[in-house]
Amino acid sequence: MDPLSDALSLLKPRRYLAGGIDLGEQVSLHFGQHDGIKCYSVVSGDCWIALDDDTQEIHLTAGDCFLLLHGRPFQLATDLDAESIDAISRLSMICRESGVAYIEGGGHCFIVGGFFTFAEGSAQSLFAQLPPIVVLQTDADKTAMRSSIERMLEELQKQQPGVDLVVQNLAYLMLIQALRLHLSDHQKNCTGWLFALSDPAMKQAITAMHQAPEQNWTVETLARLVGMSRSVFAQRFKERVGASPIEYLTAWRMRLAEDRLKGTKNSLSEISLSLGYESESAFSTAFKRVMGHSPRRHKREYANQQ
């Protein structure tokens, strides 16, 4: 798989909540601090979105899409001066027949999308480089998102058998599409491994590390792979990714380790070897340095949560 698909495959959705929200004319929904990611698109009408600790108020119209990636409190409103309503209590009254929550009668702004929670730490590490709110508003972005939005709207309207699963998967597809569009729009001006994938040489190096994390990669071998000198490659990687090649490799190995500790019955020795560590001790030392606790404790705590 490509690096972005690799990383997204490690996200383990634990809970979905997908459907529609139909807002009335004078509505202000307040969403508190939350875990997970929200991804919604405006189907009709218009509304405003604003983070609690940010003076910026973003106006959204039909076709616009927004992502909230870091769980910060925010306001979604058709009238920013209206008295705030607790979103959780109101959205719990979603109409099961239509999959839509009608707020104050609805009729002014209709949005569709979903809210996803993931295994602890997985989404935070992946999206740390991205801003807390991502908005897609260009004509090209709207065109790219249109088919998924229309399909979700159709599913909500027809309520055919299996609608819940289809809507959940469409919402997840919208999330991936929106991420991809944002990365494409900002690839030249931002630092981070996600944005660095637009650089052919950096993408080649990152892909190699993803495809063979067990290999004894060094700055020299990676530089040779992409046809660059060691010094030039190291500097360019640091500038584009925001970390050295070996720092990135270690971080990627730890993401894989998290996944394997939780999702397999492999021993620590087997996981260590699969990630390029010559001994369980070396792996445990690296894991504790990055994660703050031992792999045994990580696996035990995950098992206790099940």
Domain spans of the chain, in order of start: 3-186, 194-305
In the prediction, which pLDDT does 28 show? 94
CATH architecture of 194-305: Orthogonal Bundle (1.10)
Mean pLDDT of 180-193: 75
Residue 21 confidence (pLDDT) above 70:
yes
- Helix, strand or coil, per DSSP, at residue 241: helix
Residue 270 confidence (pLDDT) above 70:
yes
pLDDT tens per residue, range 102-120: 898 899 999 998 887 776 5
Mean pLDDT of the chain: 85
Residue 27 confidence (pLDDT) above 90:
yes
Give residue 189's Cα distance to chain centre: 20
Could you give the CA distance from residue 27 to residue 49 in angstroms, rounded to a whole number?
12
Residue 95 confidence (pLDDT) above 70:
no
| Residue 2 or 81, more confident | 81
pTM recorded for the entire structure: 0.74
Taking a C-beta distance cutoff of 8 angstroms, is the pair 40, 190 a contact? Answer: no
- pLDDT-derived band of residue 228, with 50, 70 and 90 as boundaries? very high
- Helix, strand or coil, per DSSP, at residue 47: strand
In the prediction, which pLDDT does 163 show? 84
Residue for token pair 């979604």: 76
Fold assignment, 3-186 = Jelly Rolls (2.60.120)
In the prediction, which pLDDT does 13 show? 64
Under DSSP, the state recorded for 272 is H
In the prediction, which pLDDT does 275 show? 94
- Helix, strand or coil, per DSSP, at residue 151: helix
Residue 291 confidence (pLDDT) above 70:
yes
Closest to 7 (Cα-Cα) out of 214, 236, 278, 258: 258
pLDDT tens per residue, range 130-183: 888 888 888 888 888 888 888 888 888 888 888 888 888 888 888 888 888 887
> Pairing relation of β-strands 84-86 and 28-31?
parallel
- pLDDT-derived band of residue 30, with 50, 70 and 90 as boundaries? very high
Contacts of residue 262, defined as CB under 8 A and 6 or more positions apart, other chains included, come to 12, 119, 299, 302
Under DSSP, the state recorded for 53 is T
